[in-house]
């Protein structure tokens, strides 16, 4: 009798993985979702623990609304290498997925979690593997299950994956490193990091994860009208805005720079010290700046220049007329690598980027010209001449430094006062806190171009302002021992001739 009771208890303990998750409630209808499980199959995961994880996956699948137009599921396992068990495009029936999971053989080697995240980002969530295109805005979710400390770096590659729109849940079992879990997971961490004492308790995560997937149905099932992002919360939902922008009174739209006129050129450091994954974060940061600008041919125009050992105009000021076009072009920028010739980049900006041929508006229209330099290290060439020249040309300069950026160089690049024009972040993952400061400086209604309007150069106020600028420029260059006086006088003469021509044309 005791033996029979033991068998009944054993059967009861084995049953929950494939039934308890399923019996927790009706199968949730999440709407379209691309879901990839990233499973640790290193040698530290013992055979019976791996079997428990296998049963957990099968049970979780049975609670999902699987299908080509609903939830697509992919599974990868990793140790010292990464192996695709099946991609998102492979199966549309739950039975086929379960069969592939039951046939799974663990790799039983090291724990290269960072490598697995990189594979998920670049391969598993690619359109070729079955992920839906980004323009369809189907949520991408990765669930990482691990039992130990990664043998490679995870923070940077996880940040890159999150920047690409992948929501990451980090599930640690037994010996898992909490710091690594927090470095991998999406915010808020209390909703995306799970630590369980043993594989036997992993079903606790399964129940919570399933309930969170179910509440997605609200945003997917109603016309929420959120401009940026909809987040389901129980029986309700709310709209979110990107960092640096605030939700408007209607609860749906996000604020942006109001009507104003700025020509903005971004100089982005593409040197090898930045590294590919961080360059993706830089591009995301640039797009977050674009998010709060009123981009249009009549409003704010944006140009982008990348520099390393050479300088390349990615797109000039006059090319794109909408924020969506600018953001798409930013995402398409390819990383250059090599050196850090910041001085050469400043020269290129002064001589080419703000020319009318590149899309800058004529100086006579008084449109503010703004340059923003983004760098992570010391320049390999001299910056002093062209940093000074940029400010002489009337360009308002901002300098954003990350990591090993040199404060003295940042201050030399930036306009005065440096406190308003220099920003710094210790690493690429924390630089988003700079957005609000930049917004307050660049936005026309809040910063350098507050109250700017396009005026006729023939109005009395314009002539007086022009005279004041001319006298100020002469005073700055009269004592210059480096021969800048003649060059400045030539520039002023050219501006006077331009004004004279406009007066003649009006007659």
Label residue 369 by pLDDT band (50, 70, 90). very high
Give backbone dihedrals phi and psi of 85, rounded to 5 degrees, phi first: -75, -50
Reported pTM: 0.47
- Asked if pLDDT for residue 386 goes beyond 60, the answer is yes
The residue assigned the tokens 């030399």 is: 412
**Per the structure block, which two tokens stand in for 412?**
């030399």
Residues 361 and 386 in one domain: yes
Give 197-226 pLDDT, tens digit per residue: 655 555 666 566 666 665 444 566 566 778
Give domain status of residue 241, yes or no: yes
**Per the structure block, which two tokens stand in for 272?**
């090898």
**Dist CA 402 CA 425 (whole Å):** 5
Which residue among 442, 474, 496 closes a domain? Answer: 442
Give domain status of residue 464, yes or no: no
Give domain status of residue 177, yes or no: yes
Residues 194 and 150 in one domain: yes
Number of neighbouring beta carbons within 10 Å of residue 26 = 9
Domain that holds residue 276: 263-442
**Dist CA 101 CA 381 (whole Å):** 56
Between residues 217 and 269, which one has the greater pLDDT?
269
What is the end-to-end Cα distance of the chain in Å, rounded?
A: 112
How many DSSP H helices and E strands does the chain contain? Answer: 19, 14
- In terms of Cβ atoms closer than 10 Å to its own Cβ (0-12, 13-18, 19+), residue 487 is middle
Give the number of residues written for the chain: 507
| CATH number of domain containing 251 | 2.10.25.10
What is the percentage of the chain residues whose pLDDT exceeds 90?
37
Residues 277 and 396 in one domain: yes
Label residue 467 by pLDDT band (50, 70, 90). low
Contact 297, 263 (CB under 8 A): no
Contact 74, 36 (CB under 8 A): yes
Name the domain count of the chain.
3
Give domain status of residue 450, yes or no: no
Residues 302 and 251 in one domain: no
Residues 131 and 272 in one domain: no
Residues 295 and 250 in one domain: no
Cis preceding linkage at 347, omega within 30: no
Q: Which of 75-79, 224-228, 370-374, 481-485 has the lowest mean pLDDT?
A: 481-485
Give backbone dihedrals phi and psi of 96, rounded to 5 degrees, phi first: -65, -40
**Dist CA 456 CA 140 (whole Å):** 51
pLDDT of residue 240: 80
Residues 268 and 417 in one domain: yes
Between residues 215 and 14, which one has the greater pLDDT?
215
pLDDT of residue 177: 82
Give domain status of residue 379, yes or no: yes
Give 101-123 pLDDT, tens digit per residue: 988 888 888 889 999 999 999 99
Which residue among 411, 426, 442 closes a domain? Answer: 442
Q: Would strands 369-375 and 395-402 be described as parallel, antiparallel, or unpaired?
A: parallel
Residues 276 and 397 in one domain: yes
Give domain status of residue 146, yes or no: yes
pLDDT of residue 196: 72
- Asked if pLDDT for residue 485 goes beyond 70, the answer is no
Give the three-class secondary structure for 172.
strand
**Dist CA 289 CA 271 (whole Å):** 21
Residues 48 and 109 in one domain: yes
Q: What's the DSSP call for residue 185? A: S
Q: What's the DSSP call for residue 365? A: G
Give domain status of residue 141, yes or no: yes
**Dist CA 124 CA 37 (whole Å):** 10
What is the percentage of the chain residues whose pLDDT exceeds 70?
71
The residue assigned the tokens 């106020």 is: 461
| CATH number of domain containing 95 | 3.40.50.410
Give domain status of residue 465, yes or no: no
Residues 134 and 229 in one domain: no
**Per the structure block, which two tokens stand in for 390?**
């940029």
Residues 312 and 366 in one domain: yes
Which range in 7-21, 254-268, 308-322, 419-433 is most confidently predicted, on average pLDDT?
308-322
Give backbone dihedrals phi and psi of 101, rounded to 5 degrees, phi first: -70, -40
**Dist CA 66 CA 417 (whole Å):** 58
Contact 431, 236 (CB under 8 A): no
What integer is the mean pLDDT of 44-49? 79
What integer is the mean pLDDT of 344-351? 96
Residues 333 and 379 in one domain: yes
Closest C-alpha among 238, 215, 267, 199 to residue 55: 199
């Amino acid at each position: 009798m005791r033996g029979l009771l033991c068998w009944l208890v054993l059967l009861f303990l084995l049953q929950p993985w494939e039934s308890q998750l399923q019996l927790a409630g009706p199968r949730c209808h999440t709407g379209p979702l691309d879901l990839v499980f990233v499973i640790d199959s290193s040698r530290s995961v013992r055979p019976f623990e791996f079997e428990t994880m296998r049963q957990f996956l099968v049970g979780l699948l049975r609670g999902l609304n699987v299908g080509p137009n609903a939830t697509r599921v992919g599974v990868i396992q990793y140790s010292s290498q990464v192996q695709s068990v099946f991609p998102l495009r492979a199966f549309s029936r739950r039975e086929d997925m379960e069969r592939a999971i039951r046939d799974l053989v663990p790799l039983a080697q090291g724990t290269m979690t960072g490598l697995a995240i990189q594979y998920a980002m670049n391969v598993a969530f690619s359109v070729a593997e079955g992920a839906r295109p980004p323009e369809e805005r189907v949520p991408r979710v990765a669930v990482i299950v691990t039992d130990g400390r990664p043998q490679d770096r995870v923070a940077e590659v996880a940040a890159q994956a999150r920047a690409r729109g992948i929501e990451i849940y980090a599930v640690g079992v037994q010996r898992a490193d909490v710091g690594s879990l927090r470095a991998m997971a999406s915010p808020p961490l209390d909703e995306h990091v799970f630590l369980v004492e043993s594989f036997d308790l992993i079903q606790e995560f399964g129940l919570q994860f399933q309930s969170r997937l179910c509440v997605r149905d609200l945003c997917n099932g109603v016309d929420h009208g959120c401009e940026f992002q909809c987040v389901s919360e129980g029986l309700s939902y709310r709209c979110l805005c990107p960092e640096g922008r605030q939700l408007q009174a209607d609860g749906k739209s996000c604020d942006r720079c109001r009507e104003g006129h700025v020509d903005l050129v971004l100089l982005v450091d593409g040197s090898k010290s930045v590294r590919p994954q961080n360059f993706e974060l830089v591009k995301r940061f640039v797009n977050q700046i674009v998010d709060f600008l009123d981009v249009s041919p009549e409003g704010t125009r944006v140009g982008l220049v990348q520099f390393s050992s050479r300088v390349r105009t990615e797109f000039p000021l006059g090319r794109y007329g909408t924020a969506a076009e600018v953001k798409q072009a930013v995402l398409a920028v390819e990383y250059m690598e090599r050196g850090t010739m910041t001085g050469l980049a400043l020269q290129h900006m002064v001589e080419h980027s703000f020319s009318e041929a590149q899309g800058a508006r004529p100086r006579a229209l008084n449109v503010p010209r703004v340059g923003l330099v983004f760098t992570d290290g010391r320049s390999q060439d001299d910056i002093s001449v062209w940093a000074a020249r940029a400010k002489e040309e009337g360009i308002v300069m901002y300098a954003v430094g990350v990591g090993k950026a040199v404060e003295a160089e940042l201050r030399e690049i930036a306009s005065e006062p440096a406190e308003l024009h220099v920003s710094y972040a210790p690493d690429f993952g924390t630089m988003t806190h700079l957005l609000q400061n930049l917004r307050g400086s660049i936005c026309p209604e809040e910063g350098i171009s507050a109250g700017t309007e396009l005026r006729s150069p023939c109005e009395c106020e314009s002539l007086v302002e022009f005279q004041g600028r001319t006298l100020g420029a002469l005073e700055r260059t009269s004592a210059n021992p480096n021969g800048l006086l003649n060059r400045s006088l030539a520039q002023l003469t050219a501006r006077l001739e331009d004004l004279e021509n406009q007066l003649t044309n009006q007659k």
